[in-house]
Chains A and B, each alone.
Chain A
Amino acid sequence: MEAEQRGRKVVSMGKKTIIPFGPQHPVLPEPIHLDLVVEDETVVEAIPSIGFIHRGLEKLVETKDYNQMAYVIERICGICSFGHGWGYCASVEGAMNVKVPERAEYLRTILHELSRLHSHLLWLGLLADGFGFESLFMHCWRIRETVLDILERTTGGRVIFSICKVGGLRKDIDDETLKEIVEILNGMKAEIKEITDVFLEDDSVKNRMCGVGVLSKEDAMELCAVGPVARGSGVEQDMRLTNSHGVYDQLDFEPMIETAGDCYARCKVRIREVFQSIELIEKAVAKIPEGPISVDVKGNVEGEFITRMEQPRGEAFYYAKGAGSKFLQRMRVRTPTNMNIPALVKTLQGCDLADVPILVLTIDPCISCTER
């Protein structure tokens, strides 16, 4: 009766049981713990808890100077590392009134989109793994490897780039390489389409995702969901459109919006963003100006600055404050997963126990980001 009042389909008279989920779980590479209160096979309530891998990176600003911190902040996450480095550098540059050369901004945008590309391909693989489609998972990661090769060729690292510094970039990418990158990415399009069509059209895959974990637009707004989770529920929110970072204002694009709000919609948003990233890189390469890639930054950090950045997982927020020394006084990073956990808890209520792994995966959790 109680269940019916709350609008759930399944009425059960079963006893409530608590099933612990994570921090160690076969589908989860990230340590989040959920206490799932289940009645029969239905989840009634999910209680999340985090705090397994806190590393205290924000505290390090007090002992590492602002140039060294660029390398530390980057290591918050192994997937969206470039975005973190950029967000930090943009905040410090803002606080110090440093104007970054335009070529550096273009290159940063290109590298950021490459990161998004490999992050989304990685996520697609994890999702396939989550619903038990092992070979699809491997093919996603095979394609991702091409992007990682491009990143290693341009920055020297596969996932940790160490190329972004306060004042610009450390290494230039010559125009010939940029053109080659566009060629490689365009060549990949057919391959990616072949794989992503399986996600979007295959019946068995659709059965696992369509109508599962619906998050309404109102809920998404109320629970402050960000990134693909919000866009999958029809919220038009993309930090790239706020022109707070990069040269996205010159690239002319629309955010990818789906309205269904279920797992399928979130998956579709990310698949469309994969192709969008390739397009954005192509546009940026066509427009990139000649010029220097960095300016010398001297002196101490004085003042504070906020940067909002669209990471592959959604909006990330960076706050830097300096008080006239080469060490920052405070650095704060708020990551997208942090904002998406309430939405996750909401969608978990009333879902099947078997759908829990997919639901957790569709917010693309990055707990090492969240806890830093």
Chain B
Amino acid sequence: MKAFKFAKTVLKSMFKKPATLMYPVVEREWQDRTRGQIGIEEDSCILCGICAKRCPADAISVDRKDGKWEIERMRCIQCGECVEACPKKCLNMEKQYTEPGPEKVIHVHEIEVKKPAKPAAPKADAPAESGDAAAEASADDADDTLVCDLNACVFCGLCAKNCPCDALKVDRKEKIWELDEDACVKCGACIDKCPKKCLSFGAPAAGAEEAEELAKKVEDSEAADENKAAAAVVPEFDAEKCIYCGVCENQCPCEAISAEMDAWTLDKEACIGCGACVDVCPAEALKM
């Protein structure tokens, strides 16, 4: 009877419901994690363009001037990288797939460019103005400008490097930290990268007194900065833990570290004590 091996399965199947669905008449049930297509909440988008930069398929393009967020549906590979990268969490993964069609569709979302409440862009390193800006910004919660606590700042420039809109300018020699408020999209990427945690939206302390204090401190900051190089804390090196991977060397904004195969050296004069190397060390061989 080996010839009729399949007969049992066939007979059983005759009394079973079909395994297929009448798609698309009958809708299928999506799983919680189904990756269908990318959706956007237009209201909270700040057009920072991080999604476009991270997209492996170049499917997203962001035009800040015209206020347009575009996605090429046929290019998108639904990897979800943009959803993870979005600082405002306004992108999401919808479960429904893109509708099939004969043409390559580009979905354009018109997004209003949110200008900061204060049109004049104060230089954050100008002491009096930055104090004002901080005070005003704290009064208006909706539009908190990015503020740098210049007392803590070591002018390493990591914030400027990681800014998606090139809104920050940092000059280490002149001790200038400058924000172009028109360009800033308040994504917060710089705050995450700051090794000294001296960046925040609005004044870190809201009270008027403290704002004044801050202004004073900033006034003194120039004097403080001069001593900084000498007084700064430099990273301590633990040779037993070090794996000489060189990650600290790559991260150092002032090229003060050189990590050879078996020698780790620090140029103490060049070091500004930012601590960026400590954060990235995979072997925890560095501490401040």
Contact = CB atoms under 8 A, between A and B. Distances in A.
Main secondary structure of the interface of A (DSSP, over half): helix
A24 interface: no
Contacts of B35: 156-157, 162
A368 to B, nearest CB: 16
Given A160-B77, A195-B9, A203 B2 contact: yes
Contacts of A145: 19
A interface bracket (residues with beta carbon within 8 Å of B): 35 or more
A330 interface: no
Contacts of B19: 142, 145
B78 interface: yes
B80 interface: yes
A238 B203 CA distance: 62
Interface string B19-62: 10000000000011111000000000000000000101100000
* Size category, B interface: 20 to 34
A202 B77 contact: no
Contacts, number: 78
Interface stretch (B159-167, B183-191, B205-213, B239-247): B239-247
B56 A71 contact: yes
Contacts of A162: 35, 77-80
A145 B35 CA distance: 17
22 contacts: A69-B56, A71-B56, A71-B81, A72-B56, A97-B243, A133-B6, A142-B19, A154-B33, A155-B33, A156-B31, A157-B78, A170-B84, A195-B9, A198-B9, A201-B5, A202-B2, A202-B6, A203-B2, A204-B3, A298-B282, A299-B245, A300-B250
B81 A139 contact: no
Given A97-B243, A201-B5, A299-B280, A75 B34 contact: no
Contacts of B10: 135
Interface of A: 64, 68-69, 71-72, 75, 97, 133, 135-136, 139, 142, 145, 149, 152-157, 160, 162, 170-171, 194-195, 197-198, 201-204, 298-300, 302
B3 A203 contact: yes
B6 A156 contact: no
A136 B6 contact: yes
Interface string B236-266: 0000000101110011000000000000000
Contacts of B5: 197-198, 201-202
A204 B56 CA distance: 49
Nearest to A96: B245
B173 interface: no
B8 interface: yes
